[in-house]
Structure 1
Amino acid sequence: MKVIVILDQIQSGLGGKERADTELGGKRIAMGSAETLEKNLKRQQGEVIATFYCGTDYYQNNSELVQTKFTKMAEKMKADVVVLGPTYDYPEFSTMACEIAEHFQTHTKVPAIVATAIEKNADLIAEYKEQLTIVKVPKKGGTGLSDSLNHIVEGCKLASDKADMTEFKQQYCYQ
């Protein structure tokens, strides 16, 4: 199972809010918080084939460009699934993740899974929960991240196998 993780500049380890203008980019490794997810993926014969990243301000000013480049690269790399996040309770990153996931859904056959916390993102989740797979994760520093990472990996496996995700969504996603 080949997974691409999409992160903001903070979660990819490229800087804090002062680096929100970080241009889109990617590396063929697990970067930042993708490293933790990769450990869980390996137990399911999965791997992070790349980490794509983009600063949240850069994204807001170049959303169409970022969406197009990320989807084209994921298709070129033959990703089985794309994970956006975990975004925790960061609203700018959560918005970016949902918008990019929607672009994946409408312009590619590559399934996308968003992982976000409800704190500071309730309206966003309400807007996207019907059309996207949004896995519940704790806010930054909250408890339950280990379980959430396992749920993300389970979602990746189901999505890459094109399996029915109804029960999964009922248990682990926002409804």
Structure 2
Amino acid sequence: MKVIVILDQIQAGLGGKERADTPLGGKRLAMGSADTLEKSLKKIDGEIIGTFYCGTTYYQDNADLVQEKFAKMAEKMAADVVVIGPTYDYPEFSKMGCELATYFNEHTSVPVLVATAIEKNEALITQYKASLMIVKVPKKGGTGLSSALNHLVEGCQLATKKEDMREFKQQYCYS
């Protein structure tokens, strides 16, 4: 299973809020918080084939460009699934994640899962939960991240095999 992870500049390890203007980019490896997800993926012979990133302000100013570029690169790299986040309780990153996931669903055949915490994101989750797979994760520094990442990996497996995800969504996503 070939996975692409999309992160903001903070989770990619490229700086804090002061670097929110970081342009889109990517590397063919697990960067920043994607390292933790990669450990869970390796247990089921999954691998991260790339980490895409951009700052949240850069995204807001260039959403159309970022959406199109990330989608085209995911298809070109033949990703089996895209994971956005974990976005934790960062509202700007969570909004970016939901908008990117919507674009992927509408313009590609690559399945996408968003990993978000409810804290600071309740209205956003309410807006997108019917149309997206938004996997529950704890807020930054919260407990339960390890099991949330295992659930995320399970969702990736189901999505790549095009299996019924209703039970998964009911159990591990906001629905």
Same fold (TM over 0.5): yes
What SS class does the counterpart of residue 174 from structure 1 fall into?
Answer: coil
Aligned length: 175
1:172 CA displacement: 0.2
Q: What corresponds to 2:127 in structure 1?
A: 127
CA distance in 2, matches of 1:6, 1:128: 18
Amino acid at match of 1:116: T
Amino acid at match of 1:66: V
Q: What corresponds to 1:164 in structure 2?
A: 164
What SS class does the counterpart of residue 49 from structure 1 fall into?
Answer: strand
Amino acid at match of 1:139: K
What SS class does the counterpart of residue 119 from structure 1 fall into?
Answer: coil
Unaligned residue ranges in structure 1 (runs of 5+): none
Deviations 1:115-142 (A, max 9, x none): 0000000000000000000000000010
Matches within 5 A, 1:48-63: 48-63=48-63
Q: What corresponds to 2:100 in structure 1?
A: 100
Amino acid at match of 2:37: L
Percentage of pairs with the same residue: 75
CA distance in 2, matches of 1:36, 1:3: 13
CA distance in 2, matches of 1:161, 1:42: 17
Q: What corresponds to 1:173 in structure 2?
A: 173
Deviations 1:90-125 (A, max 9, x none): 000000000000000000000000000000000000
CA RMSD of the aligned region, Å?
A: 0.3
CA distance in 1, matches of 2:45, 2:113: 18
Matches within 5 A, 1:32-71: 32-71=32-71
**1:30 matched to 2:33:** no
TM-score, with normalisation over the residues of structure 2?
1.00
What SS class does the counterpart of residue 157 from structure 2 fall into?
Answer: helix
CA distance in 1, matches of 2:160, 2:42: 15
1:88 CA displacement: 0.2
CA distance in 1, matches of 2:163, 2:12: 30
CA distance in 1, matches of 2:135, 2:34: 16
Moved over 6 A (4+): none
CA distance in 2, matches of 1:24, 1:80: 21
CA distance in 1, matches of 2:13, 2:31: 7
What SS class does the counterpart of residue 83 from structure 2 fall into?
Answer: strand
CA distance in 2, matches of 1:103, 1:163: 21
TM-score, with normalisation over the residues of structure 1?
1.00
Q: What corresponds to 1:75 in structure 2?
A: 75
CA distance in 1, matches of 2:26, 2:161: 25
